[in-house]
Amino acid sequence: MTAGTTDAQRRHDPSVRGFASDNYAGVHPEVLAALALANGGHQISYGEDAYTAHLQDVFRSHFGERAEAFPVFNGTGANVVALQALLPRWGAVIAAETAHINVDECGAPEKIAGIKLLTVPTPDGKLTPELIDRQAWGWGDEHRAQPLAVSIAQSTELGTLYTAEEIRAICDHAHERGMLVHVDGSRLANAAASLELPLRAFTTDVGVDVLSFGGTKNGLLMGEAVVVLNPDAVKNILFLRKMSMQLASKMRFVSVQFEALLSGDLWLRSAGHANAMARRLEAAVRDIDGVEVVRPVQANAVFAILPREVSERLQKNYRFYFWNEHTGEVRWMAAFDTTEADIDNFAAAIAEEMGKR
């Protein structure tokens, strides 16, 4: 091989699209351009670079002057670091039974962070003050892990959204009982686009203490951030991030992605587009005989029930996941790069397969 050449080859067909996850999408071109901009030369490692320093101003423009961002590698890492920073060793966090921290993180909050999860069944993935009270008890009882935090997801694992008023009610209720509030915001941008609210309007301004801010699902190559909104609520987050293996040595390449995402309106454009494509899909399948959309489409997810054999045939050409093996419920996700043609072709394939029954 001669100098300047590479044996790397494209090993996938970029025309193939799926609806399994917004993580399937590639990197937004504007984010790729930012990565190239940050490349070259030397910058201090482990977060002492110019891009990470500037990133603090970027996050504060969205979340308020007390906000501080701590970039990490992934969403599970963000949740683990954030919850550890809120809780003592004997602390527990109340969460919906369907929460990502409970069902999709391989037990990391409990195994890695040593945090007890106290879960509550919910009809729509959303907690309420009344549901929180099912687990908010036993303070001072040395035999019970102490419920000292509440974690909600925005949007939820079921694609539903909390209003700003609902989050304020949860924060007020939790704070009155001496508990802190964490938001798993892997799709926080999708929530803001759907609610048509600034990010701080349903986080900082309603009393959220710390959140995990998602980037990967909205066009980043990699990277999430723990965003501390109430510095009085967290302890030792710098050490916890390192101990949890979430401190990037070349952090400039994580930070510059968030700068590209959040300095302008890229975050909102991308999330709003993904939401619109989910609504387009819901509208396209709504009247197909035998297809039932079973949850409100409030962000970029569509949940539907159709015959299992139809889903399995569709999966040969379009990747998506079964959400509930017993009912046949599936989940279809739209991403920043999902096109109208992608939606229309998929809906046509669903109609065609349903017609073969």
pLDDT digits 0-9 by tens, 60-104: 999 999 999 999 999 999 999 999 999 999 999 999 999 999 999
Give residue 5's pLDDT band: very low, low, confident or very high (50, 70, 90).
Answer: low
What percent of the chain is modeled with pLDDT above 70? 99
What is the greatest pairwise CA distance in the chain?
70
- Residue 13 domain-assigned (yes or no): no
Count of beta carbons in the 10 Å neighbourhood of residue 164: 15
For residue 4, is it within any domain? Answer: no
The pLDDT > 90 percentage for the chain reads 95
- The residue range of the domain holding 213 is 29-262
Tokens 């379009």, residue located: 318
**Residue 1 pLDDT class (50, 70, 90 cuts):** very low
Shared domain check, 274 and 186: no
Q: Does the pLDDT of residue 223 top 80, yes or no?
A: yes
Residue 41 has a pLDDT of: 96
| Cα dihedral sign, 183-189-190-192 | positive
Residue 3 has pLDDT above 70, yes or no: no
What would the mean pLDDT of 47-54 be, rounded to a whole number? 97
Query: Do 250 and 288 share a domain, yes or no?
Result: no
Q: Are residues 255 and 297 in the same domain?
A: no
Instruction: Please indicate, yes or no, whether residues 217 and 275 belong to a single structural domain of this protein.
Output: no
The pLDDT confidence band at residue 179, using thresholds 50, 70 and 90, is: very high
Q: What gap in Å lies between CA 267 and CA 326, rounded to an integer?
A: 36
Residue 177 and residue 152 in contact, taking contact as beta carbons nearer than 8 Å: no
In a domain, 18, yes or no: no
Do 168 and 316 lie in one domain? The reply is: no
- 50 and 155 both lie in a single domain: yes
pLDDT above 50 (res 189): yes
Report the C-alpha gap between 97 and 106 in whole angstroms: 14
Q: Which two tokens stand for residue 315?
A: 């999966």
DSSP 151: E
Looking at the chain, how many residues does it have?
Answer: 357
Where does 277-328 show beta strands of DSSP type E?
292-293, 301-305, 321-324
- Report d(CA 115, CA 198) in Å as an integer: 31
Residue type, 347: A
Q: Which residues 6+ apart lie within 8 Å of 82 measured at CB?
A: 182, 210, 211, 212, 226, 234
pLDDT at 351: 97
* Per-residue model confidence (pLDDT) at position 357: 74
Q: Is 134 in contact with 120 (CB distance < 8 Å)? A: yes
- pLDDT score at 261: 98
Domain contains 111: yes
Residue 163 shares a structural domain with residue 291: no
pLDDT at 2: 53
Last residue of a domain, one of 230, 262, 294: 262
CATH number of the CATH domain containing 304:
3.90.1150.10
Single residue among 262, 278, 294 that ends a domain in this structure:
262
Choosing from 207, 230, 262, the residue where a domain stops is 262
pLDDT reported for residue 7: 81
Chain mean pLDDT for the chain = 96
* Strand (E) or helix (H) holding 71: strand 68-72
Contacts of 346 (CB under 8 A, 6+ apart): 17, 19, 281, 318, 332
Task: List the CATH number of the domain containing 231.
Answer: 3.40.640.10
Query: Cis peptide before 45, with omega less than 30 degrees from 0?
Result: no
209 and 329 part of one domain: no
68 and 225 Cβ atoms separated by less than 8 Å: no
User: Do residue 253 and residue 284 come from a single domain?
Assistant: no
Q: How far apart are CA 347 and CA 196, in angstroms?
A: 27
145-170 confidence digits (pLDDT tens):
999 999 999 999 999 999 999 999 99
**CA 47, CA 52: separation in Å to the nearest integer?**
6
Q: Are residues 245 and 275 in the same domain?
A: no
190 and 299 both lie in a single domain: no
Q: How many other CB atoms are found less than 10 A from the CB of residue 29?
A: 11
Residues 34 and 132 both lie in one domain: yes
Asked if residues 167 and 154 have their Cβ atoms less than 8 Å apart, the reply is yes
Q: How far apart are CA 98 and CA 88, in angstroms?
A: 24
CA distance 148 to 163: 23
Q: Is the pLDDT of residue 253 over 80?
A: yes
In the chain, the number of structural domains is 2
In this structure, how many other beta carbons lie within 10 angstroms of the beta carbon of residue 247?
21
Could you report the per-residue pLDDT of 269-326, keeping only the tens digit for each? Answer: 999 999 999 999 999 999 999 999 999 999 999 999 999 999 999 999 999 999 999 9
